[in-house]
Homo-oligomer: A and B are copies of this chain.
Amino acid sequence: MQVHIDPRRVLATLRALARFGAQGKGVSRPALSPEDMAARRWLAGQMREAGLEADIDAVGNVYGRTPGVRHALLVGSHSDSVPNGGWLDGALGVVYGLEAARAWRAQQPHAPVGIDVIAFSDEEGRYLSCLGSRSFCEALDGIDPGRLQYGGATLAEAAAAAGLPAQGLARLEPARHLAYLEAHIEQGPRLDDGGLDVGIVTGIAGMQRYLVQFGGRADHAGTTPMAVRKDAALAAFEFALACEAALRRAGGPDSVWNFGALALQPGVANVVARSATLTVEFRDLSPEVLERLAQALHECVSLRDGQRGVSVAATRQNALAPARMDPALQAHLQAQARQAGARSLALPSGAIHDAMVLARRVPTAMLFIPSIGGRSHTPVEDTAERHIMLGAEVFCGALARAAQQAAPGGAAAK
């Protein structure tokens, strides 16, 4: 089965999409914002022009189905962005899917395996990280999405204000959706540093995030002798450094961790901090390593609790199990990269993607293209045009391989 895509059209579609919420070289399209909704309505129109039956569902997922087929490859990513984000990020994977569907409908109108395209809602977590794909996969784990909040409004209120339908959710259909494939920028420096063209994702690192609370006592910083203070700020600083050392000892070579947020109360120069709240998160591809990292964190909490007269307690705020990518789909991407002359690297994803949610339900794969300087979630995020176009060819070629193998008698006939 042969499908030829138009790499220049991919670039043009990406540039057209980047006009929605444009801010300098980047875009600001937080989920359900007017800019995000305008982009979603435009994407639904593009899907219809490509020959798909497209609608926007009650949480904002834009879902285009190939008519008249019993089986399809589901392809896409997300079209929302972080505030003041980059122009590619999830948009890339949505536009690759759109291009594949266009080429498919035009060149293989009777193919037994169609291309369904999806632009998931709120992958960036304005309301909930991977909201759209979690809704699509019925993986909300008991969360009532209507009650999620942002900026004083519930998701239900924001959805109504955005003009979304009150009812109707797109759903994964296990009998129809043979696989999910997603393209994305790497968001890290490995491909760019290595002079590589594409990355074939082996898995998505699992993540655990904790809130560590420090309880001290507020005191006047001029009148309270040093010896009697219960300083939550210094206790938090010491904890973070001890925890960093413990995580390094417990982790594997690809483990990463971060202490990205710290709030001191009352947080003024002349009052000893009464309390501190520190976020700790760590990631690894191996469930065993994640378990060791969690253990190391809890040991730190036990060791430091009560030191400096400050209580220490950790609560888990979020946990995502690692997701392995499907070996057969990885092999298709690998074979297509070889055929296209693209230099490739098999690598894990340290970032979370909608593919992480889908992988629990269907065979899933991801293709990365290089991020210049490893930068993302900023207006300077970019990828060379050559890499955007080459990536589209590798990705769509691999879709054809997967569709061929999945079609009745396909594997034997290839």
Contact = CB atoms under 8 A, between A and B. Distances in A.
The number of chain A residues touching the other chain, given as a range, is: 35 or more
Nearest to A377: B220
Nearest to A254: B225
A194 interface: no
A226 interface: yes
Contact of A268 (B186, B231, B261): B261
Given A188-B220, A261-B268, A264-B260, A237 B228 contact: no
Nearest to A272: B258
Count of this chain's copies in the oligomeric assembly: 2
A175 B231 CA distance: 47
Contacts of A231: 258-259
A220 B368 CA distance: 15
B233 A259 contact: yes
Contact of A269 (B228, B236, B261, B376): B261
A187 interface: yes
Interface in A208-247: 209, 218-226, 228, 231, 233-234, 236-238, 240-241, 244
A272 B283 CA distance: 14
A262 B283 contact: no
A345 interface: no
A271 B267 contact: no
Given A189-B228, A234-B240, A260-B272, A283 B374 contact: no
Nearest to A241: B237
Q: Indicate the member of A189, A224, A244, A378 with the most B CB atoms within 10 Å.
A: A224
User: What 4 A-B pairs come out closest when comparing CB atoms?
Assistant: A188-B223, A222-B350, A221-B258, A237-B237
Given A223-B351, A237-B238, 5 more contacts: A188-B225, A219-B374, A222-B256, A234-B259, A258-B272
